[in-house]
A = this chain, B = another copy of it.
Amino acid sequence: VSGSASTPIGVIGGGAWGTALGLVALRAGSPALLWVREPELVPAINERHENHLYLKGVALDPALRATGRLEEAAACDILLLVVPAQHLAAVARTMAPHLRKDAVLVSCAKGIETGSGKLMTEIIGEALPHHRMAVLSGPTFAREVAQNLPTAVTLASSDPALAEALCARLGSRHFRPYAADDALGAEIGGAVKNVLAIACGIASGRRLGDNARAALITRGLAEIVRFGVRLGAKRETMVGLSGLGDLTLTCTAEQSRNFSLGMALGRGESLDKILAGRISVAEGVYSAAALVARAKKLGLDLPIAEAVDAVLNRGAAIDATIASLLARPFRAESEDAILPA
């Protein structure tokens, strides 16, 4: 990795997660320059040291610098890309002329692009080709990371030396990156888990109980692995922090936006009404259809994701959808197993 610890790390995207990652860089000893889309966030972060839009109430390290000029942040040696999945392609294209030739790109966004069905590294690789790339993903509520609570993530690159250098550059006592060589595998969990979290939320909102949620998480992980393996990812990556870890987090905590959206649906609220009351993105709403379409093209059966897509986008009734999931025939656990023998 080029750049010493005293050159700034550029963080592209000033939502909750981007802001928290700026603090992560500072704690690891690097300056951090955060590009924010909303102009009002520049003085908020630089002068009042608060991101009142996305991390209200968290006192930020005064050393965190925000800028509204994308070209300024894009000129850093290491760039953490933390733009919501549905805006990543546009931002990446805008950044392109400003990148250093040797800039390292770290994908920190999660999701699947609607329409194209592309994963984050596919979008980045097309808009910003010829750059070394890594994926940072794991169970990370941004607010907890901002508060310096203990967090572990996968940091994966097909170049193992790059993954290790980035771990050293970003890791600190309470933020623990684990190096891996399977960048594709490290983004599959983040791409699928939001859809599954909506399923778990619906089950909780319908008061189906904790047993049902645990079964959904387990069978949901099997869907993540099936999808990832078909794309060429390693099973082991998806059973680690970026897959199982993030899935568990997203499916068990009401602070998860996707889980809480599912809860509201399960309690009988309409999707339109739920979305109207929110500023932050519940990524699963956008990526469900793209995930199911891409899986179908690959010849894969993802019953839980399909059920969520049907409820969100095709007017399926929740109780009938649950009943049909429960009515699937008894089968061997390994028949569509995560790890066929």
| Number of A positions contacting B (CB below 8 A) | 63
Which positions 245-272 of chain A face chain B at CB distance < 8 Å?
245-246, 248-249, 252-253, 255
Task: Select the stretch in A100-108, A274-282, A290-298, A333-341 that faces chain B.
Answer: A333-341
Docked-complex contact A180 and B333, CB < 8 angstroms: yes
Which positions 147-170 of chain A face chain B at CB distance < 8 Å?
147, 149-152, 154, 167-168
Q: Closest B-chain residue to A176, C-beta based?
A: B330
CB contacts (< 8 Å) of A210 on chain B: these are: 139, 141, 144, 249, 252-253, 255
Indicate whether A235 reaches chain B with its CB closer than 8 angstroms: yes
The secondary structure that dominates the A interface is mixed
Contacts A179-B331, A235-B339 given: A240-B218 contact, CB under 8 Å?
Answer: yes
CB contacts (< 8 Å) of A341 on chain B: these are: 234, 236
Indicate whether A171 reaches chain B with its CB closer than 8 angstroms: yes
Q: Which of A140, A213, A239, A322 has the most CB of B within 10 A?
A: A239
CB contacts (< 8 Å) of A176 on chain B: these are: 215, 326, 330
Closest CB of chain B to A197's CB: distance in Å?
Answer: 12
CB contacts (< 8 Å) of A138 on chain B: these are: 215
Docked-complex contact B244 and A177, CB < 8 angstroms: no
Q: Closest B-chain residue to A144, C-beta based?
A: B209
Indicate whether A4 reaches chain B with its CB closer than 8 angstroms: no
CB contacts (< 8 Å) of A211 on chain B: these are: 139-141, 144-145, 149-152, 249
Indicate whether A332 reaches chain B with its CB closer than 8 angstroms: yes
Docked-complex contact A236 and B334, CB < 8 angstroms: yes
Indicate whether A178 reaches chain B with its CB closer than 8 angstroms: yes
Closest CB of chain B to A246's CB: distance in Å?
Answer: 7
Indicate whether A273 reaches chain B with its CB closer than 8 angstroms: no
Q: Closest B-chain residue to A239, C-beta based?
A: B338
Docked-complex contact B245 and A326, CB < 8 angstroms: no
CB contacts (< 8 Å) of A120 on chain B: these are: none
Q: How far is the CA of A211 from the CA of B154 in the complex (A)?
A: 13
Docked-complex contact A221 and B236, CB < 8 angstroms: no
CB contacts (< 8 Å) of A244 on chain B: these are: 217-218, 221, 244
Contacts A326-B174, A332-B178 given: A151-B248 contact, CB under 8 Å?
Answer: no
Q: How far is the CA of A144 from the CA of B211 in the complex (A)?
A: 7
Closest CB of chain B to A16's CB: distance in Å?
Answer: 13
Docked-complex contact A173 and B214, CB < 8 angstroms: no
Docked-complex contact A330 and B150, CB < 8 angstroms: no
Indicate whether A241 reaches chain B with its CB closer than 8 angstroms: yes
Q: How far is the CA of A150 from the CA of B327 in the complex (A)?
A: 11
Docked-complex contact B236 and A339, CB < 8 angstroms: yes
Residues in A lying within 8 Å of B, measured CB to CB: 138-141, 144-145, 147, 149-152, 154, 167-168, 171, 173-174, 176-181, 208-215, 217-219, 221, 234-237, 239-241, 244-246, 248-249, 252-253, 255, 322, 326-327, 330-334, 337-341
List, sorted by A's number, 15 A–B pairs whose CB atoms are closer than 8 Å: A139-B215, A144-B209, A144-B212, A145-B211, A149-B208, A150-B326, A179-B332, A180-B334, A181-B334, A217-B244, A218-B245, A239-B339, A240-B338, A241-B333, A339-B339
